[in-house]
């Protein structure tokens, strides 16, 4: 046990009138200390504001009880909810959380991973900047890693994801059921398994309904608001614009709505809008947004649970078969989707 920022265990022991070993036993939650002595030690700790060096203590025991997490966009509400689930679950299990933002830059992501490794975190949760960067992670000697939301292609890894194919399939089938045939989709570059799977769900639904997928209705965008805005403008410059748009990311959806407002196109009277992700503003916007609600908080919980399992396996040097946890989403029908316009 090491000393804290201002006081040592010896100071706590003197104030409580106990031995240093008793203070150590209390800090390590050992049951050999009586309730009376435990209370005295805890009062002394509180009185002087003693804070042990957790990292140093953890290194002595072979673990730091800290997990790291790297996310690609700290401003995205989806990731914010995932982090909440991660932090709440980590704390309940006696762990602290360190969060880094890669800003979707593979080089910055690698830098964060190296820094977390240098801090000797027990494990890492990674939302990779893209699937190719994720593959590089596999050849490095990092602590146990669980991939969240996106994962390296053609690799067996521990990961927690949404059922992206099934969710997109259900959403597009709903639009088809409303009579839509001119259904556009706005996707990011297909360097994310999330986007690949969501596009597969779109393709599957269209193919089953016998509806051709038109190249001009497949808009490629960055995952940001500006990309959605530009894609929206381009779709409505077409001679035959779509009657429904399926956006595969909540931030791109914001850009589409901005384009509709600028062009004066009413929703859903002229075009229905469907969004993957259900951000807080979805029910504030008028009309309220039909969206796929991802269980983001549950994704965070499940990610920590899987990571702790992997950490325990690594510590005991037992075989740990990789596991893919797939969580179902929910289609929320609201006002932004309606029957195909009668022109």
**Does residue 57 sit within a domain?**
no
Residue 217 lies in a domain: yes
195 versus 58: which is more confidently predicted?
A: 195
Residue 96 has a pLDDT of 92
pLDDT of residue 3: 39
Percentage of the chain lying above the pLDDT 90 cut: 67
CA distance 144 to 67: 10
* CB 338, CB 178: distance < 8 Å: yes
Residue 343 lies in a domain: no
Residue 210 lies in a domain: yes
pLDDT band at 136 (very low <50, low <70, confident <90, very high): confident
The C-alpha atoms of residue 272 and residue 76 are separated, in whole angstroms, by 24
CA torsion through residues 290, 324, 65, 112, sign: negative
Which pLDDT score is estimated for 2?
A: 41
Whether the per-residue pLDDT at 32 is higher than 80: the answer is no
According to DSSP, the β-strands at 330-332 and 290-293 are antiparallel
* Residue 5: band (very low, low, confident or very high) from pLDDT cuts 50, 70, 90: very low
Tens digits of residue pLDDT in 221-251: 877 899 999 999 999 999 999 999 999 999 9
CB atoms within 10 A of CB 114: 12
Check whether residue 91 and residue 156 sit in a common domain.
yes
- The C-alpha angle 134, 71, 159, rounded to 5 degrees, equals 50
Residue 290 shares a structural domain with residue 169: yes
Task: Calculate the average pLDDT of the chain.
Answer: 90
pLDDT at residue 133, rounded to an integer: 82
The pLDDT of residue 47 is 85
CATH number reported for the structural domain that contains residue 190 in this entry: 3.40.50.2300
Examine the domain organization and report whether 48 and 122 are in the same domain: no
Please state the rounded mean pLDDT for residues 95-113: 94
Please report the pLDDT score of residue 221 as a whole number.
85
Radius of gyration of the chain (CA): 25
Q: What pLDDT sits at residue 37? A: 87
176 shares its domain with 282: yes
In a domain, residue 342? The reply is no
- Summarize pLDDT for 282-327 with one digit per residue, the tens: 999 899 999 999 999 999 999 999 999 999 998 887 777 899 999 9
Q: Measured between alpha carbons, how far is 212 from 183 in angstroms, rounded to an integer? A: 10
**151: Cα within 13 Å, side-chain hemisphere:** 23
Write the CA distances from 261 to 229, 233, 234, 240, integer angstroms: 10, 11, 14, 19
pLDDT value at position 143? Answer: 94
Average pLDDT over residues 65-82: 94
Domain that holds residue 272: 164-294
Cα–Cα distance for residue pair 167/198, rounded to 1 Å? 8
- Considering the domain architecture, whether residues 190 and 226 belong to the same structural domain is answered as yes
- Residue 229's pLDDT is 96
Helix (H) or strand (E) holding 300: helix 296-316
Please report whether residue 85 resides in a domain. yes
The per-residue pLDDT for 1 is 38
Instruction: Tell me which of 4 and 191 has the higher pLDDT.
Output: 191
Cα dihedral 138/139/140/142 (nearest 10): 30
Phi and psi torsions of 259, nearest 5°:
-65, -40
Query: In the numeric block, which tokens belong to residue 114?
Result: 């190296």
CB 287 within 8 A of CB 268: yes
Q: Count of domains in the chain?
A: 3
DSSP string, 104-155: T-HHHHHHHHHHHHHTT-SEEEE--SSHHHHHHHTTS-PSPEEEES---TT-
**Of the ranges 126-140, 223-237, 321-335, which one carries the lowest mean pLDDT score?**
126-140
On whether both 304 and 157 belong to a single domain, the answer is yes
Q: What is the pLDDT of residue 326?
A: 96
**Per the domain annotation, does 311 fall within a domain?**
yes
Assess if residue 31 is contained within a domain: yes
- Residue closest to 147 by CA, chosen among 122, 125, 123: 125
Same domain, 302 and 204: no
Asked if residue 303 and residue 157 are part of one domain, the reply reads yes
Query: 27 versus 303: which is more confidently predicted?
Result: 303
| Residue 58: per-residue pLDDT | 59
**pLDDT for 55:** 55
Dig out the tokens for 329 from the structure.
């989403």
- Using 50, 70 and 90 to split pLDDT, how confident is the model at 63? confident
Torsion of Cα atoms, 194 then 199 then 200 then 204, to 10°: 150
- Whether residue 180 sits in one domain with residue 131: no
Distances (CA, A) of 207 to 52, 164, 210, 304, 315: 61, 17, 5, 37, 48
261: CB partners within 8 A, 6+ apart? none
Q: In this structure, what CATH number is given to the domain that contains residue 40?
A: 1.10.260.40
Beta bridge partners of 274: 246, 290
Q: Based on the domain organization, do 177 and 229 belong to the same domain?
A: yes
Domain co-membership, 214 together with 153: no
Contact 267, 245 (CB under 8 A): no
My answer on whether 75 and 138 are in the same domain is yes
> Quick one: which of 270, 234, 276, 271 has its CA closest to 252?
276
Residue 150's pLDDT band (boundaries 50, 70, 90)? very high
Strand order in the sheet with 290-293: 218-221, 183-188, 244-247, 272-276, 290-293, 330-332
């Amino acid at each position: 046990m090491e000393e804290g920022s201002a006081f040592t265990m010896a100071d706590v022991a003197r104030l409580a009138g106990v031995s240093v070993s008793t203070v150590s036993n209390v800090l390590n939650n050992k049951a050999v200390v009586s309730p009376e002595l435990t209370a005295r030690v805890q009062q002394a700790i509180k009185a002087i504001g003693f804070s042990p060096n957790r990292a140093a203590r953890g290194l002595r025991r072979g673990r730091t009880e800290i997990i790291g997490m790297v996310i690609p966009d700290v401003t995205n509400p989806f990731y914010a909810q995932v982090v909440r689930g991660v932090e709440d679950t980590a704390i309940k299990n006696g762990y602290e959380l360190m969060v880094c933002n890669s800003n979707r830059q593979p080089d910055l992501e690698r830098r964060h991973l190296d820094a977390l490794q240098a801090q000797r975190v027990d494990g890492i949760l990674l939302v990779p900047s893209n699937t190719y960067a994720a593959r590089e992670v596999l050849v490095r000697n990092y602590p146990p890693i669980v991939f969240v939301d996106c994962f390296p292609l053609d690799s067996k890894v521990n990961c927690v994801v949404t059922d992206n194919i099934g969710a997109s399939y259900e959403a597009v089938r709903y639009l088809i059921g409303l009579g839509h045939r001119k259904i556009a989709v706005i996707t990011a570059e297909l360097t994310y398994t999330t986007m690949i799977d969501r596009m597969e769900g779109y393709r599957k639904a269209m193919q089953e309904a016998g509806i051709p997928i038109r190249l001009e209705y497949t808009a490629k965008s960055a995952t940001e608001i500006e990309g959605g805005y530009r894609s929206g403008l381009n779709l409505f410059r077409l001679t035959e614009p779509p009657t429904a748009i399926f956006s595969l990311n909540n931030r791109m959806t914001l850009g589409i709505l901005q384009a509709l407002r600028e062009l004066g196109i009413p929703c859903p009277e002229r075009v229905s809008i469907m969004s993957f992700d259900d951000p807080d503003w979805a029910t504030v916007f008028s009309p309220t947004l039909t969206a796929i609600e991802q269980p983001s908080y549950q994704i965070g919980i499940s990610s920590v649970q899987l990571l702790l399992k992997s950490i325990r396996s690594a510590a005991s040097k037992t075989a740990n078969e990789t596991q893919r946890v797939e969580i179902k989403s929910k289609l929320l029908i609201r006002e932004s989707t309606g029957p195909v316009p009668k022109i």
